[in-house]
Amino acid sequence: SLAQIYVDTEQADKAIPLLEDPKFGVLTLVKAKHPATDKAGFSSEAYKTGLRAYIASLATAGENGDQLIQKASEMMDGLKESVGDSGQAQLVAIYLSLARDLEEQMNSISSPAAKTAMSKGFETFLKRVRGQSNEFNILNWVAETFRGMAEAFDTGKGELSAETIQYYAEASSTYDTILQKAGTPGWLPQPQYKLQIQLQVAAINRRIGKYQEAVNSLEAILKDNKMVLGVQLEAAKTYQEWAGDSRANPKMYELALGGAREDEKSGEKLIWGWIKLSKMTANKEQFADAFHESRLNIARSYLEYAQRSQGADQQERLDRAKRAIEFTAKLYPEMGGEKWKPQYDQTLRQIQSKLGEKQVGLAEFIAADAGG
């Protein structure tokens, strides 16, 4: 709708009159239960658009801030009513999609000043909602939205900005609140949400450099079940990023590759590392992405380790990095398709450069196979 377009293009002030039009406004029609709105999902989308418009308008609301917050709260009540008593899982999904919409809204803003202003509006409302709600779907939405806001300010390079750190901290504290309440019988709509939230907390800790806390929480999950693939991937990623921190011992790369944290009962490593991850996911179509993520990061870990090494050690690690990609190319010539092949190629070019070779990427192995 035109109102959605206005919201998506930083013109929420133009969306609100359309939504509230006394005759033809979507919100007016939905509240009146007009027959034209009697379609599956229509009411939910209308309330989502209204909520986004009111929150986005808080940035420039001035004295009207409280009025907009009240209207936004009414949209949340409408969302809950639109799915009914039996729609808890549906409501969680709606709020997660809303969190993604708000993150995209933030990412679409090119002006740093405008992005900061909008984030302040979001922050005001989210903190108000967090203080008033005891529902999982609302608190989870608050946490997810704060995380999305942090990621919108997170360039992925260099030191984290003040906004990034602040919003990751807000997300983490909200997730912690959820985990504290998760022990109450029946509070979580589904038990698996607890694991998903523990993973989010670990990922945030990794991103803000709290590697020890991240690994400790992942280890605690794996003590109960070390076969949880998402947790194993996050643990390997955490060790690799920890090793890449200039303050860390480069030998940490060996933990990212070969695993860590011994299980007292079995003597095996609770955290597998990239090498075992690649073996556990090989030739299983449903785990293809996890396999290629593991194979690629074996090469990247050796490359990064080499860059922190000297002499013969550096040469050996560069050779291992190159062989990791060569092995993958020979057995899996598709190299994971469009998603993974360019990443393998780019990484191999970096390795070839460090080895003083021509930077031809995967063409080196493809040509060798064709000629052999």
Question: Does some domain include residue 214?
Answer: no
* Mean pLDDT computed over 135-146: 92
pLDDT-based confidence at residue 23 (cuts at 50, 70, 90): confident
Output the pLDDT for position 276: 98
Q: pLDDT tier at 124 (50, 70, 90 boundaries)?
A: confident
Residues 115 and 195 grouped into a single domain: yes
Please indicate, yes or no, if residue 75 is contained in any of the structural domains. yes
User: Is residue 14 in some structural domain?
Assistant: yes
Residues 109 and 26 placed together within one structural domain of the fold: no
Judge contact between 166 and 126, C-beta under 8 A.
no
Total domains present in the chain: 2
Q: Which residue has the higher pLDDT, 300 or 70?
A: 300
Range of the domain at 77: 1-84
Answer yes or no: is 23 within a domain. Answer: yes
Q: What is the pLDDT of residues 148-200, one digit of tens each?
A: 999 999 988 878 999 999 999 999 999 999 999 998 998 998 888 999 999 99
Please indicate, yes or no, if residue 337 is contained in any of the structural domains.
Answer: no
First to last CA, the chain: 58
**Residue 74: how many CB atoms within 10 A of its CB?**
16
Query: Is the pLDDT reported for residue 107 higher than 90?
Result: no
Of the pLDDT bands very low, low, confident and very high (cuts 50, 70, 90), residue 287 is very high
Are 72 and 115 within one domain?
Answer: no
Is residue 264 packed enough to be buried (19+ CB in 10 Å), middle (13-18) or exposed (0-12)? exposed
Q: Is residue 106 part of a domain?
A: yes
Flag whether 371 is in a domain.
no
Rounded mean pLDDT, 329-350: 97
Q: Do residues 113 and 204 both lie within one domain?
A: yes
Beta bridge partners of 269: 262
More confident residue, 189 or 282: 282
| Domain membership flag for residue 48 | yes
Q: What is the pLDDT of residue 164?
A: 95
What's the pTM?
A: 0.81
The dihedrals phi and psi of 289, each to the nearest 5 degrees, come to: -65, -40
Kindly state whether residues 124 and 186 are assigned to the same domain: yes
Tokens of 99: 């969190």
| pLDDT tens digits for range 37-70 | 778 778 888 888 888 888 878 766 666 677 888 8
For the segment 316-343, the average pLDDT, to the nearest whole number, is 97
Q: What 3-state class would DSSP assign to 129?
A: helix
What pLDDT score does 318 carry? 98
